[in-house]
Chains A and B, each alone.
Chain A
Amino acid sequence: MNAVNRSSGGLTVTLGFVQDQAVLGVHGKVDHHTVSEFAALLDAVIVSGYHSVVLDLTAIDLMDPAGLRVITQAATRVVTSGGELTMRSSSTMAERTIDAAWLSRLVRQELRLPIADRLGPQQLGGPPEMPVRNEPTFPRSNSERIVASSTDRGVVDGALRLVVKLATATVGAADGASVTLRRHGRLTTVAASNQTVSDMDANQYSTGEGPCVDASVEGRWFHAESLDTETRWPAFTPRAHALGINAILSSPLLTKDRPVGALNIYSRTVAAFATKDQELAATFATEASAILTDAGMDVTDSQLASRLGTAKRNRHVISLAQGVIMERETIGEDLAYTRLREFSQRTNRPLRERAEDVMTSALQPQPGIDYGLMGSHDGL
Chain B
Amino acid sequence: MGYSSVDLLDRYRQDARLSHDDLFLRYFELGGMSTEFELEATVYGALEPSPHDREVIAQALNERFAELGGDHPVPYQ
A interface list, Cβ under 8 A from B: 69, 72-73, 75-77, 79-80, 105-106, 108-111, 114-115, 118, 150, 152, 296, 307-308, 310-312, 314-315, 318-319, 322, 334, 337-338, 341, 344-345, 348, 350-352
Complex partner residue of B72 from A69, A75, A106, A345, CB under 8 angstroms: A345
Asked if A337 meets B52 with Cβ closer than 8 Å, knowing A307-B25, A315-B28, A351-B59, the reply is yes
B interface list, Cβ under 8 A from A: 10, 13-14, 19-21, 25-26, 28-31, 35-38, 40-41, 44-47, 51-52, 55-56, 59, 62-63, 66, 71-72, 76
Give the chain A neighbours of B40 by CB distance below 8 A. 115
CA distance A114 to B40 in the complex (A): 11
Complex partner residue of A318 from B21, B30, B36, B47, CB under 8 angstroms: B30
Give, as a whole number of angstroms, the nearest-CB distance from B58 to chain A: 8
Whether A80 contacts B66 by the Cβ 8 Å rule is: no
* Nearest B residue (CB) for A322: B31
CA distance A108 to B19 in the complex (A): 8
* 18 additional contacts (CB under 8 A) given A108-B19, A108-B20, A337-B31: A76-B46, A77-B47, A80-B35, A109-B13, A109-B14, A114-B20, A115-B40, A150-B37, A315-B29, A318-B30, A334-B55, A344-B59, A344-B62, A344-B63, A345-B76, A348-B66, A350-B63, A351-B30
Q: Is the interface of B mostly helix, strand, loop or mixed?
A: helix
Asked if A348 meets B52 with Cβ closer than 8 Å, knowing A296-B21, A307-B25, A318-B30, the reply is no
Whether B44 contacts A105 by the Cβ 8 Å rule is: yes
Whether B25 contacts A311 by the Cβ 8 Å rule is: yes
Whether B55 contacts A341 by the Cβ 8 Å rule is: yes
Give the chain A neighbours of B38 by CB distance below 8 A. 76, 80
Whether B31 contacts A315 by the Cβ 8 Å rule is: yes
Pairs A-B, 4 closest by C-beta atoms: A311-B29, A76-B46, A76-B41, A334-B52
Give, as a whole number of angstroms, the nearest-CB distance from B34 to chain A: 9
Complex partner residue of B37 from A79, A345, A351, CB under 8 angstroms: A79
Give the chain B neighbours of A150 by CB distance below 8 A. 37
Give the chain B neighbours of A152 by CB distance below 8 A. 21, 36
Give, as a whole number of angstroms, the nearest-CB distance from A118 to chain B: 7
* Nearest B residue (CB) for A346: B72
Whether A348 contacts B72 by the Cβ 8 Å rule is: yes
CA distance A76 to B40 in the complex (A): 10
Give, as a whole number of angstroms, the nearest-CB distance from A319 to chain B: 6
Asked if A334 meets B66 with Cβ closer than 8 Å, knowing A79-B37, A315-B30, A351-B30, the reply is no
CA distance A79 to B36 in the complex (A): 12
Give the chain A neighbours of B72 by CB distance below 8 A. 345, 348
Give the chain A neighbours of B13 by CB distance below 8 A. 109
Whether B20 contacts A80 by the Cβ 8 Å rule is: no
Give, as a whole number of angstroms, the nearest-CB distance from A341 to chain B: 5
CA distance A361 to B7 in the complex (A): 39
CA distance A350 to B56 in the complex (A): 12
* Nearest A residue (CB) for B32: A315
CA distance A367 to B30 in the complex (A): 30
CA distance A351 to B56 in the complex (A): 10
* Nearest B residue (CB) for A313: B29
Asked if A337 meets B55 with Cβ closer than 8 Å, knowing A348-B71, A351-B63, the reply is yes
Complex partner residue of A308 from B20, B25, B52, B76, CB under 8 angstroms: B25
Whether A345 contacts B62 by the Cβ 8 Å rule is: yes
Give the chain B neighbours of A318 by CB distance below 8 A. 29-31
Give the chain A neighbours of B26 by CB distance below 8 A. 311
CA distance A79 to B46 in the complex (A): 12
Give the chain B neighbours of A334 by CB distance below 8 A. 51-52, 55
CA distance A75 to B47 in the complex (A): 10
CA distance A76 to B10 in the complex (A): 16
Give, as a whole number of angstroms, the nearest-CB distance from B5 to chain A: 12
